[in-house]
Structures are given as structure tokens and as C-alpha cells.
Amino acid sequence: MSAWEAVRTALRTGDPATVAARVTRLDEAGRREVAAELPAALREGRAWLGEPAWTEGMRVAGAGTLGGVAAVVSWLNRRDLEPRTGAAADPALLLHVLAARPLDWQADLAVRLTLRARTVRNRNLPLAVELLRRTGATPPEHDPLVAAWISSPPSAHGLRHDPLLPALLPRIFEAEGVGRALRHERSEPLTAGTWLASLRVLENQRAVDRDLLLDGCLRRFLRGGSATDLRFFTRLHELLEPSHDEVHARARDYLRLLPTAPAGVAGLALSHLRRLRLDRADLAEALDGLLSRPERKLVVEGLRWLDEAVEEFAGLDALAPSLACAFACTSREVQDRAGRLAIALADRFSPAGAEAIRTALPLLPPSVGEPLAAAFGGRAADADPFTPGILPRVRGPEPFHPRALPPAALARGLETDSGWQGVESWLASFVRQAADDPGALRDAFARGGRTGRGTWDGWLWEHQWALAMGHEPGARQGRMPHSGEVSAPHYVTLRRFAEIRTAYAEGRLPPYLLATPTVTDGHLYPDVLLTRLEGYERAGVAAMDADLQQALLRLPRLIPPEIVARARALTAAAGRTAAAWLADRPRPRVTIDWSGMPVPRVEAEPTGLELVDLLMTGVTPYPLRDHGERLASWPSVLPSDRDVVAAHCLPYVLNRWSDAGAENATALAVAEGPAGEGTALLLAVLLTEQEGDAVPAMAARGELPAAELGRQLALLVRTRRARLTPALDALETAAVAGAHREVWQVLAGLLPALLPGDGERPQAAHTEALGLAVRVAGWAGARGPLPAVARAAARKGASGFSRTARDLHHLLEGATR
């Protein structure tokens, strides 16, 4: 048996370890023989492309036999040797076959593999990391390498003996992606096997330089970034518990963080600076940084510090601009507090300092500015007239023209990120081509087609079915996932692929599909469907079940009587089903059960149509294998049932499984159908992520479920501790954009369910909501008191909550006089 025959036999076993054993026994001539045959083996092995065992065996064979470093790097980075899972493989077998190479050759390979990696997901990075450890090569300065190094759970013992520690530890404070990868590590409790715990142990044992860690954290803070990206570093910094002297030595860096760092980092810097006795210049700089921030909590802390520090100054002119900055804070509580402090200190300002205060008076509402004007002179600002924006004109859908794909393009399959329109074009083209020129389609798949690349127990994605569509079902036939394993809208799409594949193999495909949309929002015009069904009846073609049900789901809700009459003339089973649907389509109702976790429920009378009932009589609560990657395309499955789509989205969005919230909100905004509890809760979740573009879009069409949105937002905040501040910011943006009347209705629905009841203490978020309500009620000319606001206004005390509630109550009452 030749060297290549031995390796090829090992490849066909599907065991990479067997391949590695054969390769390591080859002599130089045998390695050259195998290396020469590998390109042809790729063509021969198309049926196994994407299968993890086969691709790893081919990678092992190439790594052990190709001669040059560049050739091995290219081989290991081939896209056609990338498994569909994208998971990084255990590099043990590759290390085994590479061990026979010279050490400097391995070091060169490690550096080149590292520099070829563009993201931390590159499957060769674990191999590169191990080669760098074994060879002692200097790691290149490359962010994905650092992110790959920190991706394995560490131990203090392992890190202490890791030859990469001296080179890569300083880089964790510079490399992009490290903070996000480690954002879930917690310092309370400190858990073994985490970077926080391991670095704390090494620092205690003096195996890691303490200054390196402290200075690294500060450098990372000063470089900027989101709160999420900096979370790991803030926790590491606080674990180190910097001493008074360490903080004093780094005071300039802490001061630089106060004005612009994320709130958590600025709060950290503030807590340490408060331990120091700063000189006047540094103190003035610190107060200026704090009082110019937008966050209520930080500005309040700055005002408290200013009040305590006034005795350090003979005159307060140096602090006047900083105090005036606090007037710009949108929190009424902060404005009141800053105004009272300025009045209390009025005699400590010279004319120049008083002028700085007077200049800022236009930033304040009249009720706060008038007492200041009496103390400092000048004139308080009048209430600014509100000029709303113009709501966006929602454009209607355009005609959908599916792209006609030639056989060669069909055989190449679908891109993994194909949108729903690309999927529809592919399906329509495949069915048309199978009818018009089946021979050309078979030839194209024979020349360039590949079988589906799925897991052993099912194909979860459209591209897997598309790759296999031109092949006869057989031993490698894909299995549909169970309906509970994936979301119902995605299951419907997969069923259409499976149905078409089976019909093609059995020679019973129709000449065209029924469900292809006619416009770009996914709708199918009823007259178009009837024309297609009439063509089926003339040709004696039976409709496919999934295709027919998807077609029905894409019909609009309002059907002209003449269309219903025309449908009744159809005689085939599919025509009778369509006629019944057009005369009396299901009217599903969506409710949210708040007895525990919010659970969406869809209820409708069963139709006997499997896929319709799957969508309209329940929601898959937590699909095990589908993580919402196709969520943005679901409105095209049910373009006339917006609330049902929202209900199916909610399990993903509520559990942060999907990042498709903004795209889905946009799609829902232009969809049709009732917008009730499901849509309202979905919009509420998106608002807490400051994604509010759908609010003005739906307001422009008169379809925003405003009061229900407010109620669902309140329930979300109360039961799930969702963040209200981003939602209020998004609502204010929508109001300014022209949706002020609708936003007032949202707030009128929010406040009764949100405001504290008997025995509950007001929180800052309550005051923020009331403050926004004061502004928006004025813009919208709101009329009529709200009982919940009246109760809040009746509370005793002079807190910001009580004052703002009274302002809103008086405004609403005054509007009725």
C-alpha cells in the first residue's frame, strides 16, 4: 500500500487520530507523495465537506506532510476545511504531527498563524498559542492572540508557569475584545478558575507586579470604552484595594476619568479621590468633571463634595462655572439642589462669579430659575415653546421581484447570512428551474453541488437544506428538527425546504410556488394567490402543504368580496382551503402572563392546518437549539399578524439570546395586524435597550399601542428590574421627533403601574419618569388629572419626587380649568 493509499484509508475512517498515526510514520518521500495528492482529495471528498472529523483529518494530513511554513498556514486556513460549527478544535493532534518539525520552523508557523487570525474565533489560534508556549517564540502584538489566550479558564498555578504570561499579561489592558470576553467574571463571590481569582492570588504571592495591574487598569479606563467592556477591569481594580499612597501617586489619572469615563468607572475614581486631600486646583478640576456629567447620582455626589469643600476656598469664583454646569442636568432634583446651594453661597461670589451663575439661568425651568434670579440678578428663562419634529412618513412596501438564479448559482447554495428575500428567491428559482430544465439543474449539482452539512440529528439552517436540495434523499438525508427545538416561524421555513426536497426527489414538484411574496414586507396579494391556484387546477397539480399554509399566512386581513367569490369557484382541495381562509381567517389573541416570568400566550381556534396552528395556538418557550438568528425575518412569515410575531420573539429578547431587536422592531413597525400586549411588551423591552425607532414609526401610522406599552414597561421594570432610564431617554427622543401625544399616552399608561404605592419608597427612576411626564404633558397639552399622580402629589415632604409629582398634578389640573 502506498503512502497516500494508507492516509486516504485513514481519512475514510473518520478518525483524525488514525490519520495522525499514519502521517507520523511517513518518511520524507511518503510525506511528499501525500502532500501532492491532498488538493485532489479535496475535490474527491466534497461529500464530507464541513464534517468535523473529516475536515480535522485533512488538516492533520496537510500539517504533517506539506513542506513549507507558508503552505501549512494556507492549508490550515482553507475555508473548505472549516466545519460548520466554527468551533476551535483541540490542537493536540496537530501538535503531535508538527512535533517532528524543527523548533524554529514551528515558531515561524506559530507567528504566521497568529497574524492570519482576524478574530478570536479563528480555529487556529489555540494551536498558535500552544506552539508559542512550546517554542518560546516572542508572541506578535496581535489582539486576537491575547483574546484567545484569556479564553481558557486559568489557574494561579498554571499562569505562574505559563511562558506567555510575561509577554501577554500587560497586553490584556490594551487588546480589544478582552474586556467583553471577561465581562461575566464576578468578584463577589470570587470563584476559582477565573482570571480575577487567579490574578488576585498571583498578586498576593508577588508573582505578578502589583503596579502592572493597577497601572494597566487605569490605562484601560483612560482609553475609553463601554461600561460592559470595562467591567472586568473595574472589578480587578477594586480587588487590588489600592492604598492611599497608591491613589495619591495616580491622582492625575483618576482626575482625568471624572468627566468622560462611563458612570461606573467615574464613580470608582470619585470614591478613591475622596480619600485624598486635594489641592485647590485639583479639587476645582474634580468638581468641574463631576458637575458637568449627565448622571444624576454623580452630579449629586459632586454637589455634596462642593458643599463640604467650600471652606477650602476664600472665594468661590473658581467653582462658579462648575456649579453652573449642574444646572444643565436634566434631573429636576439636581437642578433644585444646585439652585438651593447657589443661593446659600451667594455672598461668597464676586460679581464675576455671580455672572457665571446668571449666564446659566436659561438652563433652568422658571420655578428654579426665578429664586436664583432674585439672589444673583438677571432674569429667569421663560418656558421654551415646543416645536415638534415631523413624524417619519412610513413608505409602503415595494413589489418583490425574486431574483432568477441560474443552475450554477443554485448549486452553490445559500450564504449563511441570507435574508428572507434571498431565501425566497432561491426557493422560487429552484422550483422554476426544476420544472423548466431539470437536466441542467441535475448537472449543476453534480458538478458543483455539495451535500448538506448538518449535525447528526438534524439540519437547523436554510443553507444546509439548500446545499442538499439537488441530491436524492438517502443515507445522508437531513432530519427536520422537532418543532419544540426551534422557534415556530423558523420551523415553518425549514419545513418548506424539506417539503420541496422530498417532492423534487419523488418527481412531484409543482411548476412554481404558491407562497412567494408579491411585496417586500412579505405580503402575498390575494388575487395573485388565486391566479396561482387556478393555474394549479388547470395543470392538475396538487399543492404542497407547507407552501400552501405559508401562502395563506401571507395574505392581508382585509379581502375584497369579489376575491372571496372568485375563490369559491375553485374545486381542488387547496382552492377550497384558500376560499375558507379568505372568508374567515383566524383571529389569534396574544396575552402576557405576568404571574412569574412574563410568558406570552397565543390563542386561536384550531384550523386543522398544522403549521398555522403551530404559530397561532402557542409559543415555544425556550427553544433548545435555535437562538433567534433569523428573528428579523419572522415578520415576513406572518406579515398580517404583528402581535403573533412579537409573541414568538419575546422568549428570545427577554432572555437576551438575540441581538436582532432593533431590526425586528423596524419590521414590526411596518407590519400589519393588531398591536396588543405582545407588541407592547416587545417594544418595552427594546425601549429599555434604548431602541425606540419603532415608536415614531408606529405613531405615524396611528398603530402604536401607547397605553399598553406604558403598562408593559412598568411591569417589566417592577418584575424584571429592567432599566427605566434608557427607556425614558428613548421616549423623550420619540416625543421630540413628533410623537409627543403618543408618548404622553405611553406615560399615562406607565405612571399608574410604576409609581410607588403605600409603604413603598420613591426611587430615582420614579422621579425621572415624572420629570419626563411634566415635559411631555406640556408639549402634548395633556388634560385631566391622573389618580396615581394625585396620590403621589399628596405625599408629605419636599423631596424631588414629591415636588415633581405636584408639578405634574398641577399642570394636568390647570389644563382642565
Indicate the pLDDT class of residue 626, thresholds 50, 70 and 90.
Answer: low
Indicate the pLDDT class of residue 425, thresholds 50, 70 and 90.
Answer: very high
Q: How far is Cα 88 from Cα 522, in angstroms, rounded to an integer?
A: 38
Of 206, 207, 217, 279, the residue nearest 242 (C-alpha)? 217
How big, in percent rounded to 5, are the helix, strand and coil portions of the chain? 60, 0, 35
> In DSSP terms, which residues pair with 455 in a beta bridge?
458
| Strand, coil or helix: 519 | strand
Q: How far is Cα 24 from Cα 92, in angstroms, rounded to an integer?
A: 14
Specify the pLDDT at position 289: 94
Lowest mean pLDDT segment, chosen from 204-218, 356-370, 426-440, 492-506: 356-370
Please determine, for residue 624, whether its predicted confidence score (pLDDT) is greater than 70: no
Contact 249, 285 (CB under 8 A): no
Specify the pLDDT at position 379: 78
Digit-coded pLDDT (tens) for 168-188: 999 999 999 999 899 989 988
Specify the pLDDT at position 380: 74
Of 13, 164, 24, the residue nearest 92 (C-alpha)? 24
Specify the pLDDT at position 656: 55
Please determine, for residue 454, whether its predicted confidence score (pLDDT) is greater than 50: no
Is it true that the peptide bond before 588 is cis, omega within 30 degrees of 0? no
Comparing 273 with 313, the larger pLDDT belongs to: 273
Please determine, for residue 735, whether its predicted confidence score (pLDDT) is greater than 50: yes
Please determine, for residue 457, whether its predicted confidence score (pLDDT) is greater than 60: no
Q: Where are the alpha helices (DSSP H) in 689-739?
A: 694-700, 706-720, 724-734
Specify the pLDDT at position 569: 95
In sign, the C-alpha dihedral spanning 705, 706, 711, 712 is positive
Contact 730, 695 (CB under 8 A): yes
Please determine, for residue 455, whether its predicted confidence score (pLDDT) is greater than 80: no
Comparing 723 with 483, the larger pLDDT belongs to: 723
584: left (phi over 0), alpha (psi -120 to 50) or beta: beta
Specify the pLDDT at position 675: 93
Contact 649, 635 (CB under 8 A): no
How much is the average pLDDT of 35-58? 77
Lowest mean pLDDT segment, chosen from 39-48, 52-61, 389-398, 703-712: 39-48
Please determine, for residue 166, whether its predicted confidence score (pLDDT) is greater than 60: yes
- Mean residue pLDDT across the chain: 89
Q: How large is the C-alpha radius of gyration of the chain?
A: 33
Mention every residue, 6+ apart, whose C-beta is less than 8 A from residue 672: 521, 523, 556, 557, 639, 640, 642
Please determine, for residue 451, whether its predicted confidence score (pLDDT) is greater than 50: no
Please determine, for residue 208, whether its predicted confidence score (pLDDT) is greater than 90: yes
Amino acid, single-letter form, for residue 2: S
Please determine, for residue 264, whether its predicted confidence score (pLDDT) is greater than 80: yes
Contact 638, 553 (CB under 8 A): yes
In sign, the C-alpha dihedral spanning 292, 297, 300, 305 is negative
Specify the pLDDT at position 816: 44
Q: How far is Cα 460 from Cα 458, in angstroms, rounded to an integer?
A: 6
What cell was used for 77?
486556513
What is the percent of the chain with per-residue pLDDT over 70, rounded to a whole number? 92
Specify the pLDDT at position 453: 45
What cell was used for 112?
504566521
Of 239, 298, 288, the residue nearest 266 (C-alpha)? 298
Q: How far is Cα 378 from Cα 371, in angstroms, rounded to an integer?
A: 11
Contact 314, 297 (CB under 8 A): no
Specify the pLDDT at position 627: 61
| Strand, coil or helix: 592 | strand
What cell was used for 562?
369579489
Q: Where are the alpha helices (DSSP H) in 584-702?
A: 610-616, 642-654, 661-669, 677-688, 694-700
482: left (phi over 0), alpha (psi -120 to 50) or beta: beta
Give ∠ CA 45-48-54 in degrees, rounded to 5.
95
Q: How far is Cα 379 from Cα 359, in angstroms, rounded to an integer?
A: 10
Mention every residue, 6+ apart, whose C-beta is less than 8 A from residue 111: 128, 132, 137, 140
Q: What is the dihedral of CA 258, 263, 265, 270, to 10 degrees?
A: 50
Specify the pLDDT at position 597: 82
Indicate the pLDDT class of residue 89, thresholds 50, 70 and 90.
Answer: low
Please determine, for residue 668, whether its predicted confidence score (pLDDT) is greater than 80: no
Q: How far is Cα 14 from Cα 96, in angstroms, rounded to an integer?
A: 18
> In DSSP terms, which residues pair with 399 in a beta bridge?
519
Specify the pLDDT at position 411: 86
What cell was used for 14?
473518520
Please determine, for residue 655, whether its predicted confidence score (pLDDT) is greater than 90: no
Place of cell 463577589: 188
Place of cell 439642589: 337
Please determine, for residue 660, whether its predicted confidence score (pLDDT) is greater than 70: no
Q: How far is Cα 622 from Cα 493, in angstroms, rounded to an integer?
A: 19
| Strand, coil or helix: 494 | helix
Q: How far is Cα 572 from Cα 648, in angstroms, rounded to an integer?
A: 33
Specify the pLDDT at position 60: 95
Specify the pLDDT at position 363: 83
Please determine, for residue 372, whether its predicted confidence score (pLDDT) is greater than 70: yes
Q: Give the side-chain half-sphere CA count within 13 A for 555.
A: 27
Digit-coded pLDDT (tens) for 771-812: 999 989 989 999 898 999 999 998 887 788 898 899 899 889
What is the percent of the chain with per-residue pLDDT over 90, rounded to a whole number? 62
